[in-house]
Amino acid sequence: MLLVILIYTTYPLTVSTQHNLTPYGTATQSSNYEGSLPINAIKPPISNTFSRTMCSHTGAGLSSKPAWWMFHFSFGSAYITDIQIYYRAGYAYRMDGFKLYATNTSTIPPDGYLCYEDGPGHPSITQTISCNHLGQYVIYYDDTGDGQFGPIIELCYVAITGCQKGMWGPNCTEACSSICVNQHCHPENGSCIWGCDPQRCVNRRCDTNTGACTEGCVTGWVGQYCTCGKCKYVS
């Protein structure tokens, strides 16, 4: 009975953050090793088990330095909350020293926000990395590698969660309130990430989390977010 309760209470929390954006875009990498294409990393199965058709694999050799794997959103910018990585089982040493970026360009070395940089010791081959940034690309980057083969990237599965800029909700189907600065909000709850635009609020006061004017709307505007101007408001 206890188990049943736990399942029911945790389920909605996990699904609400699991909108995977990798169906919307393309994957590329620095070089291909024997048909292990970059797209393999965004296709199931969700596992660390390696095969050339299930994982990506960049070319080996010191000339392949640096190695990178990149995902480009087809719709422009996304607010990236988390990036989930399943690396090849038994090869954590190749993952050692990797960096993960959110960027607005495909420049190498990456020019953007460093979501994560692996520290000393071998990393876990399965990781969920928080990024909480806006970007058009996600880049897994490795310029370390051993003295024999240079850096090699073998990604068996990657999921990028978040929403297209301007949208939120479990399936990213809700539009962010127009009172949010740049109509931009957090994918999980619609909060105005960059604050709210208080022009239509009494005393210019609004709540950054909800986007609502805390003391009401100035004359001529109605609605929770004071977004309704010359329209009929039915409460």
Q: Is 102 in the site for ligand NAG (CB under 6 A)?
A: yes
Phi then psi for residue 8, to 5 deg, are: -65, -35
One of 61, 170, 216, 223 touching ligand NAG (CB under 6 A): 170
Q: Which of 29, 47, 50 is nearest to 39 (CA)?
A: 29
Q: Is 191 in the site for ligand NAG (CB under 6 A)?
A: yes
One of 10, 51, 107, 171 touching ligand NAG (CB under 6 A): 171
Q: Is 133 in the site for ligand NAG (CB under 6 A)?
A: yes
One of 57, 99, 186, 200 touching ligand NAG (CB under 6 A): 186
Q: Is 110 in the site for ligand NAG (CB under 6 A)?
A: no
Nearest approach in angstroms of CB 78 to ligand NAG is 10
Phi then psi for residue 154, to 5 deg, are: -130, 95
Q: How many CB atoms lie within 10 A of CB 2?
A: 6
Residue pair 98/119 in contact (Cβ under 8 Å)? The answer is no
Nearest approach in angstroms of CB 193 to ligand NAG is 8
User: Which window, 65-73, 82-90, 119-127, 133-141, contacts ligand NAG (CB under 6 A)?
Assistant: 133-141
Task: For residue 40, give both structure tokens.
Answer: 């393999």
Q: Which of 186, 171, 133, 189 is nearest to 19 (CA)?
A: 171
Helices assigned H by DSSP within the chain: 2-15, 92-95
Residues 47-86 touching ligand NAG, rule: CB under 6 A, are none
The residues, any chain, with a CB within 8 Å of residue 126's CB and separated by 6 or more, are: 48, 85, 86, 87
One of 17, 47, 84, 104 touching ligand NAG (CB under 6 A): 104
Give me the amino acid identity at 44. P
Q: Is 128 in the site for ligand NAG (CB under 6 A)?
A: no
Residue (117 or 146) nearer to ligand NAG, CB: 117
